[in-house]
Amino acid sequence: MTDTIDTITDVAPHDSPERVSSELLPVRMVNEFVYCPRLFHFMHVDGRWDDNAYTLEGKDAHRRVDRREEMLPDPSPGKGGVVDGDGDDPPTIARSVSLSSPTLGITAKLDLVEAGGGVAVPIDMKRGRVPANAERSWEPERVQLMAQGLLLREHGYACTEGVLYFAASRTRVPVAFTAELEAQTRAYIAQAREAMTSRVLPPPLEDSPKCIGCSLSGICLPDETRAMRARRESAAAVAEGDEELRRLYPPRDAALPFYVQEQGARVGKRGERLIVTKGEEEVGAARLKDVSQVVLMGNVAISAQTVHMLCDAGVPVVHVSLGHWFYGVTSGITLRNAFDRAAQYQAAGDPERALQFARAVVCGKGANQRTLLGRNVRPRPVPVLREMAMLLRKARQATSAEALLGLEGGIAARYFATFGQVLKPRDFDASWDFSSRNRRPPRDPVNALLSFGYALLAKECTVALLAEGLDPWWGLYHQPRHGRPALALDLMEELRPLIVDSAVMTAINTGMVTASSFERTTAACMLTAQGRKAFIRAYEARLEQLVTHPLFGYRCSWRSVVRVQARLLSRWLRGDVPEYIPVTTR
């Protein structure tokens, strides 16, 4: 397979995606449009970006030329050296040259320009090796270089060719500015400008090697999108098809949540590190690059400077009470479009579409609850499983949200009446008795664990939805209510048994939490500080556990599953995939 990743990793934005002005289109965006129109849409219409090792390496290759901006010499013939070797004076070399043209409608910062005698040659830096094709370059690279040549011509220079410099090969590849290449480049500029105004996501590339190494592949989900579109046309499940889906994102995240529950503690910063102090003592620390979110539990303060740093880095601050209540999220302005939210509100206002989603949510949750009991209760509770299957069949045909609520309640009542049988605590006593769900406040240890776990999952889903540009507070099944993240509750329904209930079962059955992990009164039961810490370990271990994705067939963590489900929900709302399919296990 040929290497096709250099193009996009070299033209990645130096800091973050920026929206084009109404007047001028950055030339690097034309490169991105030619490379992949869908990637172009994510970056410059939806405002999405993510770095990976390749994009960071591409930034390093540009650092020298981007160090400072320089001016070109006067384009008049005879001023400065010449670039064809016929003169005695060496050419002037200018780095990081900014040029714009209202006539062409484009702007660019050129890596290097060799100029002299009224002639200029743009040189574009590439991090990788020379491609092993006939042209020794890729079309997006040639188009970008040609656009730079058009800018130089607009500024009075003769410009008949450019150069691509491949850093890994230390090789210069000349590119002739032919009439055909110029016509293609002008056409692509016009198409890219038109694409900036479109809300419709272009289709994903089909089994393209460009997707391998692309930093946006985990956002784009090209194979998953194509598979879900094919699912509608085929009775076979995606995972059972002939095509093996590629997992184009890491199976686990390198960055993880940073929990702070020491009461009276304060979170500050020291350079690129988070520092947790209590009084004069430092009680914890973490590198910014290792943190995906900061979770403040109870009476924990955070400095304004730290909040600013986290917002700038796109790391949300999550606020959770010690009483198992999820308060909200502090985050920076990471997305600057409202297209996903517009589609979300439109779907919420469409009773038939909202009902379609609600049926998927309720059936996914009920199926997973039934599977958990079938796997873990011995002897198998056959009558309960039959009753739950009957209610699920009715839920698939429900004609109203009210009917679904009743069926969901019936499934949940049978599930929780049996859930206690999956618990086999090592320190068994009456405190572990469990026969029904209660909350606000929970009155026994099992309900205390479930409530705390659901609060943690609600914040996980809220963060995932915010990352997709959706409004966590406006649901399609759960009705919007002040202070309730309704869409996050929608998303987490199918995931409750898979993540939280499984973590509760593990925490109790392995002795990670014991009867001494709780504080009890006549009206309530709460986890102690040590109990919370122990359950967070069980919950995070579950999120990090690798699983074979039930729909796509590849291995990834449960945390990745949460993020992918949020993205698929966003794509369903936008019409990019035909249906929302909940995650269910067998």
Strand partners, 269: 274
Residue type, 552: F
Please tell me the distance from the alpha carbon of residue 443 to that of residue 70, in angstroms, as a whole number. 70
* pLDDT value, residue 328: 82
Domain check: are 268 and 389 in the same one?
no
Sign of the dihedral through C-alpha 369, 232, 567, 219: positive
Domain check: are 307 and 373 in the same one?
no
Domain check: are 398 and 444 in the same one?
yes
Q: At a CB cut-off of 8 Å and minimum separation 6, what does 257 contact? A: 291, 292, 293, 294, 295, 318, 540
Sign of the dihedral through C-alpha 542, 544, 548, 553: positive
Token readout for 302 is 């955070």
> Cβ distance 418 to 381 under 8 Å?
yes
Please tell me the distance from the alpha carbon of residue 66 to that of residue 70, in angstroms, as a whole number. 10
* pLDDT value, residue 116: 86
Helix (H, G, I), strand (E, B) or coil at 527: strand
* pLDDT value, residue 58: 56
Cβ neighbourhood burial of 62 (10 Å; 0-12, 13-18, 19+): buried
> Cβ distance 466 to 472 under 8 Å?
yes
- 206 in any annotated domain: no
Strand partners, 527: 518
According to DSSP, the β-strands at 106-116 and 119-126 are antiparallel
Domain check: are 309 and 355 in the same one?
no
Q: At a CB cut-off of 8 Å and minimum separation 6, what does 352 contact? A: none
Q: How many residues does the chain have?
A: 586
Domain check: are 494 and 445 in the same one?
yes
The angle formed by the CA atoms of residues 495, 500 and 504, to the nearest 5 degrees, is: 155
Residue type, 356: Q
84: left (phi over 0), alpha (psi -120 to 50) or beta: alpha
Domain check: are 12 and 111 in the same one?
yes
The angle formed by the CA atoms of residues 196, 197 and 203, to the nearest 5 degrees, is: 70
Domain check: are 413 and 267 in the same one?
no
* pLDDT value, residue 1: 36
Domain check: are 269 and 415 in the same one?
no
DSSP 142: H
Among the candidates 195, 224, 243, a domain finishes at 195
- 540 in any annotated domain: yes
State the CATH number of the domain containing residue 519. 1.20.120.920
Domain check: are 116 and 58 in the same one?
yes
Domain check: are 283 and 386 in the same one?
no
* pLDDT value, residue 23: 76
- 209 in any annotated domain: no
State the CATH number of the domain containing residue 85. 3.90.320
Among the candidates 145, 167, 195, a domain finishes at 195
Domain check: are 133 and 282 in the same one?
no
* pLDDT value, residue 213: 83
Distance of CA 171 to the CA centre of its chain: 36
Instruction: Please state the domain count of the chain.
Output: 3
* pLDDT value, residue 40: 93
Distance of CA 398 to the CA centre of its chain: 33
According to DSSP, the β-strands at 92-101 and 106-116 are antiparallel
State the CATH number of the domain containing residue 273. 3.100.10.20
pLDDT along the chain (586 residues), means of 10: 43 42 83 94 86 60 56 66 54 89 93 91 91 92 96 94 93 96 97 91 91 89 91 55 74 90 94 94 94 93 95 90 80 78 94 96 97 94 96 95 94 95 79 83 92 93 92 90 86 97 95 90 88 94 94 93 96 94 92
Torsion of CA 178, 183, 188, 191, to 10 degrees: 180
Residue written as token pair 């599953």: 561
Domain check: are 13 and 104 in the same one?
yes
* pLDDT value, residue 374: 95
> Cβ distance 392 to 347 under 8 Å?
no
Residue type, 514: T
- 242 in any annotated domain: no
Q: Where in the sequence is the domain holding 525, given as residue range(s)?
A: 339-574
> Cβ distance 40 to 189 under 8 Å?
no
- 227 in any annotated domain: no
- 580 in any annotated domain: no
Please tell me the distance from the alpha carbon of residue 211 to that of residue 189, in angstroms, as a whole number. 23
- 283 in any annotated domain: yes
Please tell me the distance from the alpha carbon of residue 531 to that of residue 2, in angstroms, as a whole number. 53
- 445 in any annotated domain: yes
Phi, psi of 568 (to 5 degrees): -65, -35
